[in-house]
Amino acid sequence: MIRRLFSLFSTLESRTYYIFTFLILITILSTQLISYYFTQRSIIDATNTQKGYAMERLTYQIDSYMQTMEKVAGAVISSQETQQFFGNDSRETSKAKLEEYLASFLQAREDITTIALFGFDGRTATSSPDTDISPYVDITGQKWYREAEQHPDRPYISSAQVQNLFFGDYPWVVSMSLSFMDQHTGEPLGIILVDMNFNRIRELCQPIMQEPPEYIFILDQHGDYVYHPQQQLVFSGITSEPTRELMQPETQSPLELNGKSYITRKTETAQWHVVCVTELQGNIAQWRYVQVSYASIGLLAFIVVGLMANLLSRSITRPVKELSEVMQQVDKNNFNITADIDSTEEIQQLAD
């Protein structure tokens, strides 16, 4: 077996051919791999840039939506009904009027599930007066209440949560809370709670996403999930995301990890981290076609250049072989033979 293998290199022609073919093969493979890599990188970078622009539009829409919710809260707390009920000129008959006013916002906007007002003096008013507030819920101990009370100068926006404020109704919501005061005296009056429908966040993300496996999830400023398309799986620990790496200040976007690209943008109002996840190989819809094309071009180039290498090796070895035959005739005392060899000047001089 080994002898047969070495016999392939026994002649000058075979050695020249195989050496040329090997060098050409290495050159083609190197060129193809380098071209393939840069093509892949160029497409991934272009896709990430395009996704980055789309993510900036999404963060703008989220900021606009949050600002709208803040305006809704501002309209409620500055209304005559709210100021009368919680202010010094409180009237017992104004509660029904206030709750009717709050309910009108829910009728006008399907993306709001609850508007509730909690006075520091213990009085309450909600947009659902027919639904009782659970006595097992410590209102003042809720995070949205504490944050709004401790930071009255800005609204607090929570991560996604199940709202257990009312009996028999436990929706997934994102809560906004804000401290409000008497517009005449500046005295703090209480906390307003606006629960936003969780589905509205999903609707905002849908136009940005392409076909699976691409998806978008949102983290709040503490790294907790605001939205994830597989919310239940995330909270149960079945699936996870590299939230620690994404929340680090030095992490640059996009982050490429485990075959995925994580493109992150940050909202201004809620300080949320909006993350678009794409498969690196999924950046091209017909990536298999690109791979086959590169392989076909490389194979065709190898065949063409291989044939040229064969012709080149023959052009080098044929004159040498003809000259060898002439020398064999001379060795047999045939001095009348003429070496008519069409080759380079060096071989011509040797033949003469």
Over its C-alpha atoms, the chain yields an Rg (Å, rounded) of 39
- Give the residue-averaged pLDDT of 136-152: 90
Asked whether residue 320 carries a pLDDT value surpassing 80, the answer given is: no
186 phi, psi to nearest 5 deg: 75, 10
275-291 pLDDT tens trace: 988 877 655 555 666 66
pLDDT of residue 6: 47
Residue 116 phi, psi (nearest 5): -135, 145
Per-domain residue ranges of the chain: 51-64+209-282, 71-201
pLDDT of residue 302: 72
128-134 long-range CB contacts below 8 Å, 24 or more apart? 128/103, 128/166, 128/169, 129/96, 129/99, 129/103, 131/166, 131/167, 131/168, 131/169, 132/166, 132/167, 133/165, 133/166, 133/167, 134/164, 134/165, 134/166, 134/167
User: Residues 315-323: what's their mean pLDDT?
Assistant: 65
Is residue 213 helix, strand or coil? coil
Q: How confident is the model at residue 344 (pLDDT cuts 50, 70, 90)?
A: low
Q: Is it the case that residue 95 has pLDDT exceeding 70?
A: yes
Least confident of 32-41, 42-51, 249-258, 311-320: 311-320
Do the bridges between strand 215-219 and strand 188-197 make them parallel or antiparallel, or are there none, so unpaired? unpaired
**The 215-219 sheet, strands edge to edge:** 225-227, 215-219, 273-279, 260-266, 255-257
Q: Do domains 51-64+209-282 and 71-201 have the same CATH topology?
A: yes
Q: Decide: 246 and 262 in contact? Cβ < 8 Å.
A: yes
Cβ 278 vs Cβ 215: under 8 Å: no
Q: Cα dist. 73→116, 158, 169 in Å? A: 10, 15, 22
131 pLDDT exceeds 50?
Answer: yes
Please say if the pLDDT value at position 274 is more than 70: yes
Under 8 Å CB-to-CB from 236, ≥6 apart: which residues?
none
Q: Is the pLDDT of residue 59 over 50?
A: yes
- Per-residue pLDDT, 75: 92
Residue 192 has pLDDT above 80, yes or no: yes
Contact assessment for residue 129 and residue 99, using Cβ atoms and an 8 Å cutoff: yes
- Check whether 91 has a pLDDT greater than 60: no
Question: Would you place residue 116 in the very low, low, confident or very high pLDDT band (cuts 50, 70, 90)?
Answer: very high
| Res. 88: pLDDT tops 80 | no
Average pLDDT over residues 85-107: 79
Beta strands per DSSP E along the chain:
112-119, 124-126, 156-157, 161-162, 172-181, 188-197, 215-219, 225-227, 255-257, 260-266, 273-279
How would you class 247 by CB atoms within 10 Å of its CB: exposed for 0-12, middle for 13-18, buried for 19 or more?
Answer: middle
Q: Which pLDDT value is given to residue 43?
A: 74
Sequence-separated (6 or more) residues with CB below 8 Å from residue 126: 99, 102, 114, 115, 116, 117, 133
More confident residue, 336 or 97: 97
Give, as one character, the DSSP assignment of residue 133.
Answer: B
Cβ atoms of 348 and 60 within 8 Å: the answer is no
Tokens of 202: 């999903």
Q: What is the CATH number of domain 51-64+209-282?
A: 3.30.450
Please give the mean pLDDT across all residues of the chain.
Answer: 79
Helix axis angle, 94-108 to 12-77, nearest 10°? 150
At residue 177, does pLDDT exceed 90?
yes
Q: What are phi and psi of 192, to 5 degrees?
A: -100, 140
Residue 182 has pLDDT above 60, yes or no: yes
The per-residue pLDDT for range 198-208, each reduced to its tens digit, is: 788 778 877 66
DSSP secondary structure of 317-345:
HHHHHHHHHHHHHHHTT-TT------S-H
Instruction: Give percent above pLDDT 90 in the chain.
Output: 14
CA pair distance 344, 319, nearest whole angstrom: 9
Top pLDDT among 259 and 262 is at 262
Residue entry with tokens 């090997």: 22
Write out the CATH class of domain 71-201.
alpha beta
Q: 91-128: string of b/e by CB count within 10 Å (b at 16+)?
A: eeebbeebbebbbebeeebebbbbbbbbbeeeebbbbb
Residue 337: CA count within 13 A, CB half-sphere: 17
Which residue bears the tokens 């008013």? 125
Q: What is the pLDDT of residues 161-171, one digit of tens each?
A: 888 888 777 88
Least confident of 111-125, 244-258, 276-290: 276-290
